[in-house]
């Protein structure tokens, strides 16, 4: 499953690991919904670590869309909220 970590590039993540990623993804969503900064930071780091660990980086010349897109490591809760709230935030 092609996965992008914003600011880092794309990874090919083993499908078998998807359920583990989903759990971490849900934890991040919960932190965003409840507006808890500390939980947001922890769960974002856990999700990105897992994606990097389960994934193989794609070559730079690969041209393909991603099924999953994860927020950048240094994003704040506010930034992710804004991103979700408005497609107009994505440039290009």
Partner 1 sequence: MSLSRRIAALFRIKVTKALNRAEDPREVLDYSYEKQLEMLTKVNRGLADVATSRRRIELQMDQLTSSSGLLSTQAREAVAVGHEGLAREALTRRAAVTAQLADLEAQKRSVQADEEKLTVAAHRLKAKVEAFRTRKETIKATYTAAEAQSRINEAVSGISEEMGDVGMAMQRAEDRTTQLQARAGALDELLASGALEDATRPAGRDDIQEQLDQLTGGGEIEAELSRMRAALPPGSGKAES
Cβ at position 77, least distance to partner 1 in Å:
12
Candidates 14, 37, 49, 67; binder of partner 1 (CB under 8 A) is 67
| Residue 77 in the binding site for partner 1 (CB under 8 A) | no
Largest Cα–Cα separation, the chain: 39
The residue ranges that bind partner 1 (CB under 8 A) are 3-4, 6-7, 9, 21-22, 25-26, 28-29, 32, 47, 60-72, 74, 79, 83-84, 87, 89-92
């Amino acid at each position: 499953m092609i996965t992008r970590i914003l600011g880092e590039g794309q990874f090919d993540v083993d499908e078998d690991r998807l359920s583990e990623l989903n759990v971490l993804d849900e934890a991040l969503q919960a932190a965003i919904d409840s507006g808890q900064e500390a939980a947001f930071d922890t769960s974002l780091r856990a999700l990105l670590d897992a994606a990097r660990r389960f994934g193989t980086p794609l070559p730079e010349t690969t041209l393909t869309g991603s099924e999953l897109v994860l927020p950048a490591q240094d994003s704040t809760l506010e930034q992710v909220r804004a991103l979700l709230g408005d497609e107009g935030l994505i440039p290009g």
